[in-house]
Amino acid sequence: MRGLTPVAQGIVMMIGAIFLFSSMDAMAKALGADYDPVQVVWARYAGQMAVVALLLAPRLHILMRTRHLGLQLLRSGFLFAATLCFFTSLGHLEIASATGVLNIHPVLLTLGAALILKETLGPRRVIGIGAALVGALLIIRPGSDVFSLASLLPLVAGLCYASYALTTRFLGRDEPILTSFLYTALIGTIVASLMVPAVWQTPPPWDAARFVLLGAVGAAGQLLLIRSLTLAEAGVVAPFGYAGVIFATIYGVLFFGETPDPLSALGALVIVGAGVYVWHRETRARRAEA
């Protein structure tokens, strides 16, 4: 990527990270047809932990030091819950619809920051949050024939992911980003390893290779995400995270024969639009404060 500015490199890496995460989700959906979601989540975390251990081995003893162990555990628990809920939802919903609802997490983060961090919640941000919730309702459609309890899982995943991002804001002031990355992989692997024996199915060689690939792709996505955030400000690269809806739709059409119905597509667009709007308002507010 020679010739690109650091910000441009950060944007490219963010898009690459989202592509890898979408690829991981597609593999999780395919594996979830034959295996329990807990086993798929275990593969995701175990693969990431293996990559982390290899890359950070010389510094593990330093990176394990934290002044906020409780917050690290809570943060990692939120991400684990988000992953488990989302992977479980993929067995019941179209991948594009599930991804669309999951993408409500940025506006939920804005709401959480206002309630917990006492950040300003003006009328325009309230409009953005309300619009995102309307978009989620267009996809979930409670009371209709397409509604099921599984439809709520991506919403729960989005809530957990927003909580994960909120705790990350606290930790980002005092902890190196690689320390948080290490704890996320370690805690997720430990919890999944405790859960997986109850549902374990020994996969044949081809499926075992797919499990390994899922873990490696997830770890690569995390590394690209971290690199993106070191090259550019989070507020600059964050909107490109919505590319996941596009990638998920493509995977759904190509590999699962899924074509989102008009209401689901509209709901996803409303959520993305609301998220970009809230991001725009927050960016302007930060610049005004500066």
Q: Phi and psi for 42 in degrees, rounded to 5?
A: -60, -45
For residue 277, being part of any structural domain is answered with: yes
For residue 97, being part of any structural domain is answered with: yes
Q: What is the pLDDT of residue 237?
A: 78
What are the CA-CA distances from residue 186 to residues 44, 132, 225, 253 (Å)? 12, 33, 18, 34
CB 144 within 8 A of CB 283: no
For residue 39, being part of any structural domain is answered with: yes
Q: Is 203 helix (H, G, I), strand (E, B) or coil?
A: coil
Q: Which residues of 79-98 are buried (b: 16+ CB within 10 A; e: fewer)?
A: bbbbbbbbbbbbbebbbbbb
For residue 130, being part of any structural domain is answered with: yes
Domain range for 23:
6-289
Rg of the chain on CA atoms, in Å: 19
For residue 1, being part of any structural domain is answered with: no
Q: Which residues of 53-64 are buried (b: 16+ CB within 10 A; e: fewer)?
A: eeebeeeeeebe
Q: Is 18 helix (H, G, I), strand (E, B) or coil?
A: helix
The full DSSP string for 223-251 is HHHHHHHHHS-HHHHGGGGGHHHHHHHHH
For residue 151, being part of any structural domain is answered with: yes
As a whole number, mean pLDDT of residues 271-280 equals: 80
Q: Which is more confidently placed, 121 or 178? A: 178
Structure confidence at residue 81 as a pLDDT band (50, 70, 90): very high
The Cα–Cα gap between 249 and 245 comes to: 6
Q: What is the pLDDT of residue 232?
A: 77
The answer, as to whether pTM is greater than 0.95, is no
> What's the total number of domains in the chain?
1
For 73, the enclosing helix (H) or strand (E) is helix 69-89
pLDDT per residue as tens digits for the range 189-198: 999 999 999 9
Q: CA 263, 130, 284 angle in degrees (round to 5)?
A: 115
As a whole number, mean pLDDT of residues 223-243 equals: 79
Q: What's the one-letter identity of residue 39?
A: Q
pLDDT per residue as tens digits for the range 132-189: 888 888 887 765 555 677 888 999 999 999 898 888 877 767 788 888 888 999 999 9
Orientation of helix 37-56 relative to helix 177-195, angle to 10°: 140
For 144, the enclosing helix (H) or strand (E) is none
What are 166's two structure tokens?
A: 């909120």
For residue 244, being part of any structural domain is answered with: yes
Q: What's the one-letter identity of residue 130?
A: G
Q: What's the one-letter identity of residue 283?
A: T
As a whole number, mean pLDDT of residues 204-230 equals: 90
For residue 226, being part of any structural domain is answered with: yes
Is residue 114 predicted with pLDDT exceeding 60? yes
Of the ranges 1-10, 62-71, 203-212, which one carries the lowest mean pLDDT score? Answer: 1-10
What are 214's two structure tokens?
A: 């899922």
Q: What is the mean pLDDT of the chain?
A: 86
